[in-house]
Amino acid sequence: MATGTEPPDTESQPGSGGVRSATRAAIDAPHLRTDRWWLAPAATAAGLLAFVVYSTWRALANADYYAAPYVSPFYSPCLAENCEPMKAGPNWALFGDWWGLSPAIIILIFPLGFRLTCYYYRKAYYRGFWASPPACAVAEPHKKYTGETRFPLILQNIHRYFFYAAVPVAGILTYDTVLAFRDEDYEWGHMGLGTLVFLVNIVLIWAYTLSCHSCRHIVGGKLKHFSRHPVRYRMWQLVGRMNARHMQLAWASLVSVALADLYVFLIASGVFEDPRFF
């Protein structure tokens, strides 16, 4: 056999594509894996689904999202006139009074879009929800596959714009965390359990945002010669180290943002009082 003189045989029998194509080793089973390959996609799907259900409920609830000094990250910044008043908080009624729905919807578009087009989440839901593929070397159930070559999935390429948008959102959440160093009477220099929850959340949000693959590209990955840009090279290395943990950070920040919201909900709805440290 010479080096690929023969054109690759691209014919396949109708109804028997993929690993069951006529030229491939005749094995009926769609896969021969003996490990619990379904566990990871199932867990991913369950986790994502739980978050979607919870966040939909909370975003549409339009209630119990502010308990001074804490504002739920789902509602920050709050950009409509129907927002609850937050002293010095992130409520700027840019949308005026015509907006009648939950103000969460306005702002959640951005973090949602950021996560939806994120390279890690893409992997997670392509595998978990779309079974494309369900797991490595496990045949996928689809007849055709075009990946991200055409509408709508070609839109995944706009990930970096969501990154640009996610940075100011994270900035505002940082501001919220600073505000959380007040007490319920807006006196500065205090801290409660909620402050700690917010601190953890904001660190994870930033870590997730900055470890983004688009960020890695923008800060330095696009360069051809690192040696001519030593500062950007250092930044690229730093982002690269975080990027290696992008999956863990994606999950951790997803959980922490939901927990931060849940915490505010529990305080706002009076389930318990925010334990104050000082």
Partner 1 sequence: MSSYEARFKVWRGDVQGGGLEDFEVEVNDGEVVLDIIHRLQATQAPDLAVRWNCKAGKCGSCSAEINGRPRLMCMTRMSVFGRDETVTVTPLRTFPVIRDLVTDVGFNYTKARQVPAFVPPEGLGPGEYRMMQEDVDRSQEFRKCIECFLCQDTCHVVRDHEENKQAFAGPRFLMRVAELDMHPLDAAEESGLDRKRTAQDEHGLGYCNITKCCTEVCPEGIRITDNALIPLKERAVDRKYDPLVWLGNKIRRRPASSG
Partner 2 sequence: MSVVDRQEWDVVVVGAGGAGLRAAIEARERGARTAVICKSLFGKAHTVMAEGGIAAAMGNVNAGDNWQVHFRDTMRGGKFLNQWRMAELHAREAPARVWELETWGALFDRTRDGRISQRNFGGHEYPRLAHVGDRTGLELIRTLQQKVVALQQEDFKETGDYESRLKVFQECTVTRVLKDGERVSGVFGYERESGRFFVLEAPAVVIATGGIGKSFKVTSNSWEYTGDGHALALLAGAPLLNMEFVQFHPTGMVWPPSVKGILVTESVRGDGGVLRNSEGKRFMFDYVPDVFKEKYAESEEEADRWYDDPDHNRRPPELLPRDEVARAINAEVKAGRGSPHGGVFLDVSTRMPADVIKRRLPSMYHQFKELADVDITAEPMEVGPTCHYVMGGIAVDSDSAAARGVPGLFAAGEVAGGMHGSNRLGGNSLSDLLVFGRRAGWHAAEYAGERASARPRVDDTQIDAAAAEALRPFSAEGEEPADGPPENPYTLHQELQQTMNDLVGIIRREHEMRQALEKLAELRVRARRAGVEGHRQFNPGWHLALDLRNMLLVSECVARAALERTESRGGHTREDYPAMDRTWRNVNLLCRLADPSGGFAAGDPVRGQISLTRETTEPIRPDLLALFEKEELVKYLAEEELYE
| Residue 214 touching partner 1 (CB under 8 A) | yes
CB of residue 246 to partner 1, shortest distance in Å: 8
Tell me how crowded residue 19 is: count the other CB atoms within 10 A of its CB.
16
- Please state the φ and ψ torsions of residue 188, each to the nearest 5 degrees: -75, 160
| Residue 160 touching partner 1 (CB under 8 A) | yes
CB of residue 238 to partner 1, shortest distance in Å: 14
Of these, 2, 25, 32, 136, which contacts partner 2 (CB under 8 A)? 2
DSSP state of 188: B
Pull the structure tokens for residue 58.
């909370």
CB of residue 2 to partner 2, shortest distance in Å: 6
| Residue 14 touching partner 1 (CB under 8 A) | no
Pull the structure tokens for residue 120.
């890690």
CB of residue 227 to partner 2, shortest distance in Å: 8
Answer whether 109's CB lies under 8 Å from 116's CB: no
Task: Fill in the per-residue mask, 5 to 44: x = in contact with partner 2 (CB under 8 A), - = not in contact.
Answer: x---------------------------------------
* Residue nearer to partner 1 on the CB measure, 3 or 85: 3
DSSP state of 192: B
* Residue nearer to partner 1 on the CB measure, 190 or 217: 217
* Residue nearer to partner 2 on the CB measure, 16 or 237: 237
CB of residue 225 to partner 2, shortest distance in Å: 11
Q: Which of partner 1, partner 2, none binds 231 (CB below 5-8 Å, type-dependent)?
A: none
Tell me how crowded residue 32 is: count the other CB atoms within 10 A of its CB.
9
| Residue 56 touching partner 1 (CB under 8 A) | no
| Residue 245 touching partner 1 (CB under 8 A) | no
Of these, 46, 187, 222, 241, which contacts partner 1 (CB under 8 A)? 222
Residue from 184, 140, 204 nearest 274 by CA:
184
Scored b (16 or more CB within 10 A) or e, 58-84 reads: bbeebebbbbbbbbbbbbbbbbbeebb
* Residue nearer to partner 2 on the CB measure, 1 or 271: 1
Scored b (16 or more CB within 10 A) or e, 141-157 reads: eeeeeeeeeeeeeeeee
SS3 letters across 52-109: HHHHHHHHHHCCCCEECCEECHHHCCECCCCCCCCCCCCECCCCCCCCCCCCHHHHHH
Binding to partner 2 in span 84-143, by CB under 8 A: none
* Residue nearer to partner 1 on the CB measure, 58 or 127: 127
- Tell me the torsion sign for CA atoms 219, 171, 55, 198: positive
Of these, 45, 62, 110, 140, which contacts partner 1 (CB under 8 A)? 140
Q: Would you tell me which residues interact with partner 1 (CB under 8 A)?
A: 1, 3-12, 17-19, 21, 23-27, 31-35, 119, 122-123, 126-127, 132-133, 136-140, 142, 144-150, 153-154, 157-160, 213-214, 216-217, 221-229, 233, 243-244, 246
